Structure 1
Amino acid sequence: MHAKAEVEMFSGTKSWLSISPESHFSLANIPFGIISTPTNSKPRPAVAIGDHALDLSLFAQNNGFSAAPGIEADIQIFSDETLNAFAAKGQSFHREVRMYLQAIFTDDTPHPTILKTNEKLKSEALIALKDVQTHLPMEIGDYTDFFAGKNHAFNVGTLFRGPENALNSNYLHLPVAYHGRASSVVVSGTSLKRPWGQTLSDPKAEPKVPNFTPCKRLDIELELGMFVCKGNALGEQIDVKSASRYIFGYVLMNDWSARDIQMWEYVPLGPFNAKNFGTTISAWVVLADALAPFVTKGMENFTPLHTYLQQDDVNNALDIALEIDITTSKGNTTTISRSNAKHLVWSWPQMLAHHTVSGCPMRPGDLLGSGTISGTEFQTQGSLLELSQGGKIPLKLEGAEERRFLEDGDVVTIRGWSGKGAGLVGFVN
């Protein structure tokens, strides 16, 4: 209730800083990231608000947190090159910092001399977003990608096994996942090379002799990512009922996939080179508190679950509108899919509980992916594999272009936001 009241208050509150009513970085949001600038190449923490970034390092060094003694004592974390130390302070500290910064930016701020009327600090610490370089927000120790999008799992399973056997027998009993490659997680805007690997030109031919070629079926996967802020010791389990307290915040994610390489290599141990050449995340971490007002009911799972996965609250998903654009090398941009983050059958607390049920230790900065988020209607699917029905039917793009899978020079843009009006909470402006 507190979080909902808070976002309603700030969605109707004016700021002395000019913020477009269409901005996803509204006063109700305040996402955190890592930036550098032409005049200061050192990466450091910042928050995004409207079309600006507030340099938290400079803000802290110039007594920006002087009116908040509880924050002032830990301002050294705003000089770090990642958000890991900030994340590790826990949700109550994240909440205190975010609410303080919201108050700093309100038109009737109780602390006007800190930034509103401090022209020197305002001109130096408030930087246009177009003038900042964003970096990975966290040092990622481990990355695990789940498969929680039931519609995607069913669609892909149907393509290869038919609708009767689309979902594997374990799918609704536990959150399926694979361990990804943390070193190839990159921030939005990073170009990726088409991967090479072993593929079969004719999967039905015998004997099966693979070729070594560039990927010909390069795909996207529309996902949400979650950063962990709190760890557990080796051998300990995270209880599903308290797991939400381990969540730092969320990012958009594209788990790039080489489908033809994946088909040959995934048996018997699952994805490997088909997934490790790149995973893209958005630059700004939207805190758990900022999205708390948009908790909603997820997909129902009628399968009896073991106690460690049972949740009391059915409202365990996030209502986040999602869109995918493809811009071709000819400059044509087409929105190819619209989905929603609520299309997940497993919640983030359930993913954390299952990940640690063996005693696996989580650490601040660990990244979890949701798996591809697809709806049930036409053009709500989160991958080209689904949208083109396995490459059989090309997507019609603007400018009379077509795509079954990605071509060299294509740019993929993913957007996500919650709310409406002046209280939008999103990931990219």
Structure 2
Amino acid sequence: MEPEKSSNGANHYQNVACPFCGILCDDLEIGPSGSGLKVLKNGCVKSVAGFERPLVEPKPQVDGKDVSLDEAIAEAARLIRESRLPAFGGLGTDVDGVRAVIALAEKGGGVVDHALSDAQYRNFRVLQSSGWVLTTLTEARNRADLFIIAGSDVHKLHPRFFERIVCNEASMFSDNPPKRTVVFLGEGLDQSAVTGKERIGEIVTLPVKSERIAEVLDAMRALNKGATIPGDDIGGLPRAAVDDLLARCKAASYGVVVWAPPSLGFPSADLTVQAISEFVKDINLTSRFAGLALGGNEGAVSAGAVCGWQSGFPLRVSFASGKPDYDAERYAISRLLYAKETDLLLWIASFSPDLTPPDTDVPMILLGTPSVKPARTPKVYIPVGTPGVDHAGVMVRVDNVVSLPLRKLRQSNLPSAASVLEKIEAAL
């Protein structure tokens, strides 16, 4: 399906979905600029860097030497065929790409894991062990009157989150909705995007250390149940500030706690996610309250979703035995590489050059955007196009409730990761 074109001429597109963060903003306007693309409306730093990246079409390589695509595919198939336990990582691709890599892992007897799954597992462990109550981007945008940003630099990960979800002037239910309170629970969080007197009533800053957020939330759970907590401070915050936050939560008509697992980069951060989830459950008994987990950049949400419906398990699945075998610790690719338990790494990075493969002496097959710069020369390098720029595709949004179509916006000879993976599978 072709993207909606404007009346401004050829290759000028409206309502374009952006694949460069998990929010998948779908209101961009993209036009031509010389031989490339330009973000004309509703862009951010991530979308500009992605869409305006110059088109480069290098040839595939084997051991650093240019070869044909067929030769590169044949060599990749040989390496997988001769591998004892290949690891399929990175997974910076769209839904079709993840489907193809899982099919290849099944046939080649390998392990599947996303480059950002360490962060995802801060959520997965809680979902598996105790569950949670989550909302969606649309529900939060239209209903919430209280946002608590918990220990996460949301603006850095998702530059348009506040613009689109928190600071929107109108909602689905009112052209003049009530003002919102935004609470930043954490140290050094970027508040610059929370603007607009029409919608933002109050901004509250509670500079608690990230690793003590769980302590604050657990204390509020106890206080909400009538427990007595001694002392003048809780989690490094004045007791009065914690009491005030609890009162705001109880008075909210629809409160949302927002966190981004990639920001919670400290030991046992899944316990903080669990504290958020349990607090939300308790407040939700008497008021409307929900969590909202962000993250999901580099196709991480799509990878987890596809792996779930294809294998029955989230990421970190091995197909070495001929059937899916799940182990969240054993099959982490970072651990497999460190322990020398894998003898081949196939890495996919089709969205941005930031998803660089790990520096390892394990032989590597790299399917990457031409701007990816690995620390070592891969055994096989096949340049691939970017979904939503060089070819069409589908991605799952960060809240896991919407799959959005991505459009082909320019003419490119770069193949999709999915098509390359399918050819490698056929050559095994």
The answer, yes or no, to whether TM exceeds 0.5 is no
Structure having the higher helix fraction is 2
Length-normalised TM-score, structure 2: 0.23
Instruction: Determine which structure has greater relative contact order: mean sequence separation of CA pairs < 8 Å that are 6+ residues apart, divided by chain length.
Output: 2
